[in-house]
Amino acid sequence: MKALQQVNRNTYKKYLHEFWLFGLKQAYACIFGGFLLLVMLITRYWYPLESFHRYDFIFVTAVVFQLVLLLFKFETLKEAAIILLFHIVATVMELFKTSDAIQSWHYPEAFIFGIGNVPLFTGFMYSAVGSYLARVSRIFDFRYSYYPNVGLTVILVIAVYANFFTHHYIWDLRWLLLLATGVMFYKTRIHFKVIKTHRSMPLLLGWFLVALFIWFAENIATFANIWIYPNQANGWQMVSLSKLTSWYLLMLLSFVMVALVQGIKNTSSLKRFNHRQDNGAQ
């Protein structure tokens, strides 16, 4: 009995240690996004540079932080390329969404570094998602089972990106796109390694958890007066939960973009490896 209790205690310690490392690695993967949120919150309550716009300060700080990550090899050149790609895609969408004809949201403060109604630091907010996905896939050695045809995923995300624009003029196809996503990825599992053994979970669930985290971050950013939705013009209030659908589709778009750059690793070599690791731990 005592031997069994000791085995159970060791098992609990093992999983607790793995969970702790999982959290630390996730925090490391979020380093760029976390840094941006921290700067936004601090400058919301304390910003003494009257001659330098706050938005411009955030932009310069983001650029410097990116250079530091590259210089000290916390970020690879491939990950930096992904961030640049996200910046371009995001800025195009921002220009449309903040145009006088659409006005889905707006940036209430003055800036110099910007294009039209869009301060340049906004691209980094989307790039933070790309940075996270690129880094987390490397840290956890992501592998996939039952991943759908890559060409079909590209067609799907093109439709998702187009819908962000076209739903202002024709029918909003987001629910149809979400249904198509579910059909295409319902069998797909993501396999991730915290220490030695790869664990797995449904990819659709993983996207939802990250989208939920982004929704929380969005509430922090709007509270810090980074951007404002029309219903927040007379005072801050929580972002509608309906935005989760938009963030979920953005996660799909972001994930496929990163996968196209980094490639998709399958699980063909994992079954024998995990079996050997699990037997060794017994």
DSSP lists the bridge partners of residue 115 as: 118
- pLDDT digit string, tens, across residues 195-240: 888 999 999 999 999 999 999 999 999 999 999 999 998 899 999 9
Instruction: Say what the pLDDT of residue 280 is.
Output: 43
| pTM exceeds 0.75, yes or no | yes
Closest CA to 193 of 11, 14, 21: 21
User: Longest Cα pair distance anywhere in the chain, in angstroms?
Assistant: 73
- pLDDT digit string, tens, across residues 231-276: 998 899 999 998 999 999 999 999 998 888 888 888 765 555 454 4
Closest CA to 130 of 75, 92, 83: 83
Instruction: Say what the pLDDT of residue 224 is.
Output: 94
Contacts of 48 (CB under 8 A, 6+ apart): none
Q: Do the beta carbons of residue 160 and residue 253 sit within 8 Å?
A: yes
Contacts of 94 (CB under 8 A, 6+ apart): 118, 122, 123
Q: What is the DSSP letter of 266?
A: B
Q: Do the beta carbons of residue 194 and residue 14 sit within 8 Å?
A: no
Quick one: how far is CA 162 from the chain centroid? 20
Instruction: Report the distance separating Cα 240 and Cα 247, nearest Å.
Output: 12
- The one-letter amino acid code at 231 reads N
| Sole residue written with tokens 């869009």 | 118
Instruction: Say what the pLDDT of residue 278 is.
Output: 47
DSSP lists the bridge partners of residue 106 as: 228
- The one-letter amino acid code at 90 reads A
What DSSP string describes 47-102?
---TTS-HHHHHHHHHHHHHHHHHHTTSS-HHHHHHHHHHHHHHHHHHHHHTSTTT
CB-based burial label for 130 (10 Å; 0-12, 13-18, 19+): buried
Low-confidence ranges of the chain (pLDDT < 50): 273, 275-282
